[in-house]
Amino acid sequence: MEVLAGQKHKHLEFTLVAVSELSSSSVPPLSTPVIARFSVDSGVAELRFRQDSGFIDGFNVNLGTGQLFKLGPLKSLCISGSSDSNKEKSYARGVTILFRNEEESRDFHSAFEQWQNEDVTQGTHLPNGAISDVKSKFDNKIESSSAKMYFHYYGQLLHQQNMLQDYVRTGTYYAAVIENRADFTGRVVVDVGAGSGILSLFAAQAGAKHVYAVEASEMAEYARKLIAGNPSLGQRITVIRGKVEEVELPEKADILISEPMGTLLVNERMLESYIIARDRFLVPKGKMFPSVGRIHMAPFSDEYLFVEIANKALFWQQQNYYGVDLTALHGSAFQGYFSQPVVDAFDPRLLVSPPMSHVIDFNEAKEEDLYEIDIPLKFLASVGTGVHGLACWFDVLFNGSTVQRWLTTAPGAPTTHWYQIRCVLSQPIYVMAGQEITGRLHMVAHNAQSYTIYLTLSAKMWGPGAEQGGIIQSSSCKLDLKEPYYRMSQPQPYTTAQDQQPHQLLQPQDIPIHTDDLEEPKLLQQPLENSGAQLQ
């Protein structure tokens, strides 16, 4: 490493073993020693490569847009964005760099970051003429403490194991990829939020030409180890540590694959990153696995659950707790317990009506569409009972060219690590069979990577005078999806009332996607007739 004395950051040089262009097999690696030089040219900080007596044409990197990723102890990938301001930003080219030892590799990465940070601080102009922002789009909308906890959580192998051992989840992804080899063979794939790298390995098994596994947490290092342990597949996979909002790739993707779903589909707000990745990396008419998500909702009746939650606040009704009267806080505690969505697996016979659904088409949705989700609710009660809240679950569609496959979290279907979610009202409403239930589910995203939920359910007048309309009962609640109550016990063996018809197991194809929701009629699924599947 050489620095020109007396002129800090005038230029900085490293001796490398070799450099080669990533995306072109026709360009041989420069195997004789190469000098990497950090310098400033016309106010723009850049990295250039020199061999023998001159610089290598086309291998210069603008540090305002460049990205550097570690591929191994002695190998890194450097990517430069396009400098043509009149065209859509491309992903220009990638250069692999081979170092002499690990110490020089660390020094090079440190120098790259230092020069890049100084370039950003000085307001270097990017190819599109905008000034580089120190914070990415992700950083601007997500609280730093939430992001730190989020990436720490997913950077641990025990949590990855929990997801891998969800065999409904993992098996469905595997089947969706392998059964649609025609979509993957010879194609470039980007794995958004790659985690352990399992989906990247599936894509490689299906014949992908190359897979870029983008992962922002420390799990990226474990993914590299796992992929290196499968060399026949790993030679076609590149792990890139960083957020999809920030990284640059050397080429566009034919397919995006990801597992961006959280509780109630949208929790953790990773769907937004999935859509950003679509806009940044996917070729026009490229495929997304999954391509469609649906949130399903239905009112439910569960007296046991209601009493369980209400009883939690009884502690605060003590009038002599070590000489202290706690009753002043009972009301606040009562509302606090009902502000927690309940995550568990429940018996589908608890549903009071057939469900309705809200469709999100990942191919068409805008990131901003997920900032606020407003769903009008309308149901017809199947039984006369007390309604204790709204039950929700989701499914996603892998719309392959060969096979369409659904991943569902419906009650009564095999349980996943997502379970189902229930929003419980602190004041139930009561309905008769055939009575209409209306309301609104309003979800507003917040900077802790989740949503505030506002739910209202109402029952219209029933019997004589109903034609005059009007609402006779209404109940509302406010919940924080970030702070659920994990109630992981198995579903209770509820007794079916004599006038209640047990609901059949809810399969994703039982709730068709209507052409009003999606433009592609090929996504329509026909309901199964009289499947006969019931919980015993």
Catalytic residues: 259, 268
- Distance CA(280)–CA(91), nearest Å, equals 10
- Distance CA(206)–CA(147), nearest Å, equals 33
CA distances from 298 to 190, 377, 421 (A): 36, 9, 11
Strand partners, 374: 442
Measured in degrees and rounded to the nearest 5, phi and psi for residue 242 equal 160, 170
DSSP 251: S
**C-beta separation of 362 from 288 below 8 A:** yes
Q: Quote the Cα angle for 329-330-332, to 5°.
A: 65
Which H/E stretch holds residue 30? Answer: none
Token readout for 302 is: 């569960």
Residue 14's identity, in one-letter code, is F
3-state secondary structure of 254: strand
Q: Per this entry, what is the length of the chain?
A: 536
Closest C-alpha to 112, from 206, 1, 204, 33: 1
Token readout for 91 is: 């992903």
**C-beta separation of 274 from 243 below 8 A:** no
Residue 39's identity, in one-letter code, is S
Measured in degrees and rounded to the nearest 5, phi and psi for residue 299 equal -70, 150
Token readout for 473 is: 């009962």
**C-beta separation of 420 from 343 below 8 A:** yes
The residues, any chain, with a CB within 8 Å of residue 376's CB and separated by 6 or more, are 438, 439, 440
CA distances from 171 to 129, 203, 237, 402, 438 (A): 46, 14, 21, 17, 37
- Distance CA(315)–CA(487), nearest Å, equals 20
The residues, any chain, with a CB within 8 Å of residue 90's CB and separated by 6 or more, are 81, 82, 84
Q: Which residues of 454-481 are buried (b: 16+ CB within 10 A; e: fewer)?
A: bbbbbbebbeeeeeeeeeebebebebeb
- Distance CA(391)–CA(380), nearest Å, equals 15
